Chains A and B, each alone.
Chain A
Amino acid sequence: MRAMYLANYFLSRCIAFSLLEWVASLHPIAFRAVLCLLAAIAIARGLSWLLDFSLSKLLKISVADLQALLIGGFAMLLIGLGVFLCT
């Protein structure tokens, strides 16, 4: 049941990234806004990856959990974008 719970949240985030791409496809300004948002997300992810030890102490989670969250977020982004662009 815990696996179902995690899988459903993973799926919802994948669909959210697809929706973001759909918003980007509506208008060029929306596309730029989404690109800026994705760039900001990428920078934040890179900083989190570099400062994982201090961030894990700040968030009170283990470093392994933080890295798992970052990798999971990146996988969600890739799946969501891939599904929208390939269909």
Chain B
Amino acid sequence: MHLKLFVLSASSVALWIAPLAALDKTLDIHKALQGLSLTAAIACAVTAGNIAREQAEQDEIEAMKAKAVKADVIDEISTSVYVSQQQRQQEAEQILNPREHLERALALTYEGEEESEPMVQNQLAEPEQNASENAESERAKRVLQLKERGWAKAKIIRNCSTPLTRGRDRH
């Protein structure tokens, strides 16, 4: 197509200039040939112009297609980046705040608000109660051990209430 375009352009220029320069304007046959060559030159130039216009339009369409494909790819990449970022953020929130996550999970698990609230509170309070009960039982065991060793009541109370100073009182 490009070759045809260039050939038509070159032939139009040649058919325009060459007969006018080479042929005599006084002879009738030469004049007729000049007219024919000028007409042919116009035809060649118009044909070449049409071909070039079609080619330019095709190039524009190809450029638009390439732009559309590029925009699609960019959109897909940005979407995947956004999704992965959201997933990572959710994972980080789950790791950093398990209590809140538990609350949310429990709130979602139980349907009724009136029923779910006390149960959630109970489930959340269970670890705290267990921890306090464990501490009390350990303290009672410690008191019994100290009584067996013959420690005084006041000393035991002071010892159990201030565990950091325990070692100092023994000495």
User: How near does chain B come to A12, taking the closest CB pair, in angstroms?
Assistant: 4
A28 to B118, CA, bound (A): 114
Interface centre among A2, A11, A14, A84 (most CB of B within 10 A): A11
Measured CB to CB, the closest approach of chain B to A77, in angstroms, equals 15
* Docked complex Cα distance between A19 and B31 (Å): 11
Main secondary structure of the interface of B (DSSP, over half): helix
On whether the beta carbons of B56 and A12 are closer than 8 Å, the reply is no
Q: CB-CB < 8 A to A2: which residues of B? A: 52, 56
Q: A15-B42, A16-B42, A22-B34 are in contact. Are A8 and B16 (CB under 8 A)?
A: no
Q: How far does the Cβ of B81 sit from chain A's closest Cβ, in whole Å?
A: 38
Is the Cβ of A8 less than 8 Å from the Cβ of B56?
Answer: no
Instruction: Tell me how far the C-beta of A83 lies from the nearest C-beta in chain B, rounded to whole angstroms.
Output: 7
**Does chain A have a CB within 8 A of B55?**
yes
A8 contacts B46, C-beta separation under 8 Å: yes
Residue of B whose beta carbon sits closest to that of A9: B49
Q: Indicate the member of A8, A16, A25 with the most B CB atoms within 10 Å.
A: A8
Could you list which residues of chain A lie within 8 angstroms of chain B, going by C-beta atoms?
1-2, 4-5, 7-9, 11-12, 14-16, 18-19, 22-23, 25-26, 83-84, 87
**Which B residues are within 8 Å of any A CB, using their own CB?**
5, 8-9, 12-13, 16-17, 20-21, 25, 31, 34-35, 38-39, 41-42, 45-46, 48-49, 52-53, 55-56, 59
